Amino acid sequence: MGGSSKSNTSSTTRRSMKPTSQTNPFYTTTTTKDGDTTVNFRNGTAGKTAYNFVNKNISQLLNNYLNPSLNDTTTQAKLAEFNKTQQQNLQNNIISPLATNNMLRSSQATNMYNNLSNQSADYTNQLLANSQENTWNMINNLMGMYMNAYNGATGEEGTSINASIGSGDSSTSSSSKAK
C-alpha cells in the first residue's frame, strides 16, 4: 500500500504598526510598534481633575453617604449660622421689646430660649437628612464626570491604535507543511 501525503498551506497577512503619538486638548496618546498604548490626561483639564478627585476621595464620599455626620465643615457652618440668626431674632424681635416695656418675666425668656433649642434640634435633624442626599448628588455628579473622562480616554486609545495600524506596512507570508 502506498502512502499518501497531504500538504497544508496557510497564508497570513500581518500589518505592522508604526509608533504614533497624538495630542488633543484633553489627552496625549502614544502607541508603540507592538500596539502598547498609553493615554494620559493633559494637565489642567476637567477630565483629569475629576478623575483624580474621584479616585482620591470616593471612599470618603461613600462613607459620608452611608454614615451621615454633622461634623463636616459645611454642616457645622450652616448650623452655627442658623443658631446665631435665631438667637439674634429672638433677642431683637421678641425679648428686648417685651423687656423694654416690662412685659417679660425671666421664666418666659427661659421658655423662649428652650423653644429655640428645640428648633435648633429640628434643624440639626434636617441637616443630617439633607447631608446624605447632598452627598449622594455629589457622588452622582462626580461619577458622571469621571465616566466621561474615562470613556474619552478609552476612545482615544482606540483612535491611537487605529492610527498606528493605518500607518504601518502590510506583509503576507505563506507556509506549507507536508504530512
Q: What is the pLDDT of residue 143?
A: 92
- DSSP string spanning 34-67? T--EEEEEPTT-HHHHHHHHHHHHHHHHHHHHHS
Q: How confident is the model at residue 24 (pLDDT cuts 50, 70, 90)?
A: confident
The pLDDT mean for the chain works out to 80
Distances (CA, A) of 17 to 27, 55, 129, 153, 172: 21, 33, 56, 20, 15
Angle between helices 106-167 and 46-66 (to 10 degrees): 140
Q: What is the pLDDT of residues 41-71, one digit of tens each?
A: 899 988 899 889 999 999 999 998 898 888 8
Q: Which residues neighbour 121 within 8 Å (Cβ) at sequence distance 6 or greater?
A: none
Exposure b/e, 143-173, CB count within 10 A at least 16 = b: eebbeebeebbeebbebbbebbbeebeeeee
**Residue 118, pLDDT score:** 82
Pick from 13, 17, 16, 15: which is nearest to 164 by CA?
17
Report which of residues 141 and 35 the model is more confident about.
141
C-alpha span between 134 and 73 (Å, rounded): 14
Report residue 153 as a C-alpha cell.
Answer: 480616554
The whole-number average pLDDT for the span 4-27 is 70
Percentage of the chain beyond pLDDT 90 is: 12
Question: Cα(21)–Cα(14) distance, rounded to whole angstroms?
Answer: 22
pLDDT band for position 93 (50/70/90)?
confident
This prediction has a pTM of 0.58
DSSP state at residue 71:
T
Domain ranges of the chain: 14-171
pLDDT in tens, 114-128: 787 788 888 888 888
